[in-house]
Chains A and B, each alone.
Chain A
Amino acid sequence: MSRARRAPWRGVPQQAADPGRPRLTTSAMIASIAGPDQRTRPAPFGHALVELARTRPEVLGLTADLAKYTDLHVFAQAHPDRFYQMGMAEQLLMLAAAGLAHEGFVPFVTTYAAFASRRTFDFVSQGIAEEGLPVKICCALPGLTTGYGPSHQATEDLAIFRGMPDLVIVDPCDALDIEQAVPAIAAHDGPVYMRLLRGQVPLVLDEYDYRFELGRAKLLRDGAEVLIISAGFMTMRALEAAKRLEADRVSAAVLHCPTIKPLDEATILREAGRSGRLVVVAENHSVIGGLGEAVAGTLLRAGVVPPRFRQVALPNAFLDAGALPTLHDRYGISADAMVRSIRGWL
């Protein structure tokens, strides 16, 4: 018996759509997450890697036919003799990086997060991590940063990779975070998975007294009623949400936690242990297996139980295709949706 798909399809036929509601178009594969008036920097990963390579001759760049879409092309242009095009073969990409690391090099490899996590897990585990090799896996399209649908939406990459022993995991917020994380992960003598934002990347954290430190969470702003613990670009959204809540006289703190593993448990316990605050963990990732559950486990194991604990995260589902602003709002990770959620929880 055939299991071929039949109606209802996930999309809505034109004639059935609400004529009063404009339909946004899905942009190119990688839409910028920058707002219209937001300050940005171009290709922070590529430029930071070029800068790092000036003083670290062992740094190499490898990709699986996605240099242009991960900003590695900037490195390839600056250091063509240190760039390897491995073809659209992600398993080989990881293994060849392992081989180069065996020979003393520090390979930065790029692809999309969905392919690195789902397709190459065993090769990262047994080729790289079990050997403790310093391969830096830097992946574009983490979480919900494309409207192309589940094939490219890595909504569970953190859940997949958190289970891998000895793998350090980083989810930077903005251009500044990426620029500072690149030399920091290179200095770590072991494997790293880092989520990338590419193209015109928002610049936010320069307005705060902040510096990226591997393994450290940083309090960006303090607040008495809500503590938002966040990673990735959701820290940008959390800062925006906190400003809007302030206008309503709701005081929210934001603790940016760009290193997902190892988690800065001491700082999280200290902040979550301060009495009475609503604790919200915000992440560009499935509600399963990401920062939220990592924080929850940390709190429970230490006997720190905040009066209320909530997650702003993507649902455990194969998400829709469409325009990113629509999808971020639909799944609750836009600043608007976040403010609505937090108000509802207070």
Chain B
Amino acid sequence: MDARKAVRANAPGLEDRARNIRRHALRMGEVQGQGYIAQALGIADVLAVAYFHALAYRPDDPAWEGRDRFLLSVGHYAIALYAALIEAGIVPEAELETYGTDDSRLPMSGMASYTPGMEISGGSLGIGLGIAVGMALGLKRKASDRFVYTLMSDGELDEGPVWEAAMSAGHHRLDNLICIVDVNRMQADGPSTGVLNFEPLPDKWQAFGWFAQRVDGNDIAALVAAFDAARNHAEPKPRVILCDTRMAKGVPFLETREKSHFLRVEPHEWALAIAALDEGRTA
């Protein structure tokens, strides 16, 4: 059965899904004592909408031909995608205890050869969108009506091949390709505006032949509308959803901490963070 329909019938709400994804990510962060937790917390709402509103998949058959493809170009967001895969029932929850440890199926950077539900090995930043172009061409050859989604970070926009792929997707009118960009404005060396300015983003994508939307990436209702619009848009164009997100969203004391690419969390703070997450639920 189509997981999407099953979810709709008796499901927790998308806010609950997003909170669960954040909780899984925080537990993995605690195991490793570190991780790209600020990014995971920031992108959790996008992943909740993707996996519990938009995507078709079968949890017990990650290679099901009829699935929508979801590519993680930004490999170090693996902690976030593992959390979503756990919430979706593709990876067992107990396995999060192994995150980033020897011989785990959940390594620090996402790779297709390790993890069920991981479509590609991202990590060498900027490669996901080009692979997505090939997959979208391939699905059209097979007369499939499935979508290819690819999640990339705003920092990946610095990479040249992203724009080769963007131009190609426009040229080939890939209306089955949906690119999601996490615009959190923070890169390894600091704020994106100082590293390499990528604005104005919607104008750039539109100029490359894309249907572009820019939304608050932590507003679930806005995300649902954007995913629906991306899937249902009539023009034969690829689609991009530019998601402005807040790093560490959902854990107030981390949200206000000085932002960095690799957020520092003290050992005792993981439990506090999960508690803060749950407080947010009752507040």
Judge whether B124 is part of the interface by a CB distance below 8 angstroms.
yes
Judge whether B136 is part of the interface by a CB distance below 8 angstroms.
yes
Cα A104 to Cα B135 with chains together (Å): 10
Interface of B is mostly: helix
Cα A131 to Cα B131 with chains together (Å): 12
Q: Which residues of B (146-185) have their CB < 8 Å from a CB of A?
A: 148, 160-161, 164-165, 167-168, 171
Q: Which residues of A (106-150) have their CB < 8 Å from a CB of B?
A: 107, 122-123, 125-127, 130-132
Which residues of the other chain, A, contact B137 by a CB distance below 8 angstroms?
84, 96, 99-100
Cα A100 to Cα B142 with chains together (Å): 11
Q: Assess A127 versus B142: contact at CB under 8 Å? Given A87-B167, A95-B161, A96-B137.
A: no
Stretch of B81-89, B115-123, B242-250 on the interface side: B115-123
Cα A119 to Cα B165 with chains together (Å): 16
Beta-carbon contact of A91 and B134 below 8 Å? no
Partner of B164 from the list A91, A122, A132 (CB cut-off 8 Å) is A91
Which residues of the other chain, B, contact A94 by a CB distance below 8 angstroms?
130
- Chain A interface extent, by class: 20 to 34
Judge whether B256 is part of the interface by a CB distance below 8 angstroms.
no
Beta-carbon contact of A87 and B130 below 8 Å? no
Partner of A91 from the list B111, B112, B161 (CB cut-off 8 Å) is B161
Beta-carbon contact of B119 and A95 below 8 Å? no
Partner of A96 from the list B112, B124, B160, B168 (CB cut-off 8 Å) is B168
Judge whether B113 is part of the interface by a CB distance below 8 angstroms.
yes
Which residues of the other chain, B, contact A100 by a CB distance below 8 angstroms?
134-135, 137-138, 141
Q: Assess A130 versus B121: contact at CB under 8 Å? Given A87-B167, A87-B171, A89-B168.
A: yes
Beta-carbon contact of B165 and A92 below 8 Å? yes
Which residues of the other chain, A, contact B130 by a CB distance below 8 angstroms?
91-92, 94-96, 98-99, 123, 127
18 contacts between A and B (CB under 8 A): A84-B137, A87-B164, A92-B168, A95-B129, A95-B131, A95-B165, A96-B131, A96-B168, A98-B130, A98-B131, A99-B131, A99-B135, A99-B137, A104-B142, A123-B127, A126-B124, A131-B112, A131-B120
- Further contacts, 20 of them, CB under 8 A, given A95-B133, A99-B135: A87-B168, A87-B171, A89-B161, A89-B164, A89-B168, A91-B130, A92-B161, A95-B129, A95-B131, A95-B165, A96-B134, A99-B132, A99-B134, A99-B136, A100-B137, A101-B134, A105-B138, A125-B124, A126-B123, A130-B111
